Amino acid sequence: EVQLVESGGGLVKPGGSLRLSCASSGLAFSNAWMIWVRQPPGKGLEWVGRIKSNSGGGTTDRAEPVKGRFTLSRDDSKNTFYLEMNSLKTEDTAIYYCTTGYSDSSGGYHGDDAFDVWGQGTMVTVSS
């Protein structure tokens, strides 16, 4: 069974930093594109960013609100994916989910448009 487990959330002051981790098991991690999605309390989902597999170039892309502040990285030797968050703002308060692209039955891979395995989420609260 594929599992993703996030950790590293907590309470941080505005302007502070935090690093989230997403550990995977049962997943061909080195081939997977990994994604962060966040959800503010009581609100909808927001795509935060994605890192491609190293064989896919390892390219990262981030949503406009987090560009220049958040960095995505991966350590394939540890099957772990990271989100480094700096200059945090109150509007970054959310549950942060890690997820992975969906491999369909026809051999297609949906790294940027469909995500089938999700972690349980980790809460990040930015408040003074």
Partner 1 sequence: QSALTQPPSASGSPGQSVTISCTGTSSDVGNYNYVSWYQQHPGKAPKLMIYEVNKRPSGVPDRFSGSKSGNTASLTVSGLQDEDGADYYCSSYAGSKILLFGGGTKLTVL
The residues binding partner 1 (CB under 8 A) are 37, 44-47, 50, 61, 63-64, 97, 99, 102, 104-105, 110, 112-116, 118-121
Q: Which residues contact 20 (CB under 8 A, 6 or more apart)?
A: 6, 7, 8, 9, 36, 82, 83, 85, 96, 98, 122, 124
For the bound state, the minimum distance from the C-beta of residue 63 to partner 1, rounded and expressed in Å, comes to 8
- The span from the CA of 75 to the CA of 68, in Å, is 21
- Classified as helix, coil or strand, 33 is coil
Q: Which is nearer to partner 1, 69 or 110 (CB)?
A: 110
For the bound state, the minimum distance from the C-beta of residue 47 to partner 1, rounded and expressed in Å, comes to 4
Q: Which is nearer to partner 1, 54 or 59 (CB)?
A: 59
For the bound state, the minimum distance from the C-beta of residue 104 to partner 1, rounded and expressed in Å, comes to 7
Residue count of the chain, please give it.
Answer: 128
